């Protein structure tokens, strides 16, 4: 893919967000793209490829959103980063692809050449037909009550930190600015002591902790260790997380 881009857009600057997303992990890739994209400058072209449906009837798309452009399969991967309002184009004009498109490597043969042309100033509307929709990646719902918010673990990173569906905004809705000092976090049947931490280093080594991570979501971590291993977490099982505003003395 980099070779194609370098050949078609030699002045383009290529930066990597991640190459450690698990095979077929569309959700993990979507979360990584969501976390990173907003820190890139306007008109950045993002190419994301986690594509279990490559070669099938799933569409290849370009999406314009938030002043940036996203290229990839229409399987939910782009939807978290490319929030509405947005414009979607189906990449159905073969003259903008490589001449001999492999059924198993659209990243190289469709997405990379399209991204290169976008980087050289070609308009999205020239590369495909306007589409009315985009496949949305639906994350598990969060339940918010007057004094509590409940969610689930949605992703495990390479450090074993557990990212949850609960956001910082969710916690502010029940605790306001007092979230760090007044929220008790429960993970499965375990209650974490000390409320929310601000940093990983606030707890003793080997201790489970909860904090708002750099993505803006509640994370369950283990100081100098893996929370996933300590809790025996596997992606195939659901793990509930609940935050409750503690009674004040």
Per-residue pLDDT tens digits for 57-104? 999 999 999 999 999 999 999 999 999 999 999 999 999 999 999 999
116, two tokens: 């290169």
Taking every pair of C-alpha atoms in the chain, what is the biggest distance, in angstroms? 71
| pLDDT tens digits for range 183-192 | 899 999 999 9
Gap between the Cα atoms of 223 and 26, Å rounded: 28
What's the first-to-final CA gap in the chain, in angstroms?
A: 60
Task: Say what the pLDDT of residue 176 is.
Answer: 79
For the segment 210-233, the average pLDDT, to the nearest whole number, is 95
pLDDT at residue number 182: 79
Task: Read off the pLDDT band of 220 (50, 70, 90).
Answer: very high
Nearest residue to 180 via CA among 163, 197, 168: 197
Q: Per mean pLDDT, which range of 118-127, 209-218, 230-239 is the poorest?
A: 230-239
Please provide the size of the chain in residues: 249
Rg of the Cα trace of the chain?
21
In eight-state DSSP terms, residue 146 is S
Give all domains of the chain, ordered by start, each with its CATH number.
2-131 (3.40.50.10790), 143-245 (2.40.30.90)
CA distances from 126 to 68, 89, 90, 123 (A): 17, 9, 11, 5
Predicted local distance difference test score (pLDDT) of residue 181 = 67
pLDDT digits (tens, 9 = 90+) for 152-193: 999 999 999 999 999 999 999 988 766 666 789 999 999 997
- Residues 182 and 46: their CA atoms lie apart, in Å, by 39
């Amino acid at each position: 893919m980099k070779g194609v881009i370098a050949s078609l857009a030699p002045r383009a600057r290529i930066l990597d967000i991640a190459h450690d997303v698990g095979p077929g992990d569309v959700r993990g890739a979507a979360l990584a793209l969501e976390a990173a994209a907003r820190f890139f400058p306007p008109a950045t072209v993002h190419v994301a490829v986690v594509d279990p449906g490559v070669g099938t009837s799933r569409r290849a798309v370009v999406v314009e959103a938030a002043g940036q452009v996203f290229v990839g399969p229409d399987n939910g991967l782009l939807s978290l980063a490319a929030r509405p309002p947005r414009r979607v184009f189906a990449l159905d004009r073969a003259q903008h692809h490589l001449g001999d498109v492999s059924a198993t490597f659209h990243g190289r043969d469709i997405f990379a050449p399209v991204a290169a042309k976008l980087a050289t100033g070609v308009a999205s509307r020239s590369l495909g037909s306007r589409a009315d929709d985009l496949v949305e990646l639906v994350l598990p719902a969060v339940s918010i009550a007057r004094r509590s918010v409940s969610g689930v673990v949605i992703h495990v990173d390479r450090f074993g930190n557990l990212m949850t569906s609960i956001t910082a905004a969710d916690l502010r809705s029940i605790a306001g600015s007092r979230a760090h000092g007044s929220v008790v976090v429960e993970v499965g049947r375990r209650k974490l002591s000390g409320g929310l931490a601000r940093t990983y280093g606030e707890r003793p080594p080997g201790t489970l902790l909860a904090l708002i991570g750099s993505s803006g979501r509640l994370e369950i971590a283990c100081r100098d260790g893996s929370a996933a291993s300590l809790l025996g977490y596997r992606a195939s099982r659901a793990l509930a997380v609940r935050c409750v505003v503690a009674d004040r003395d």
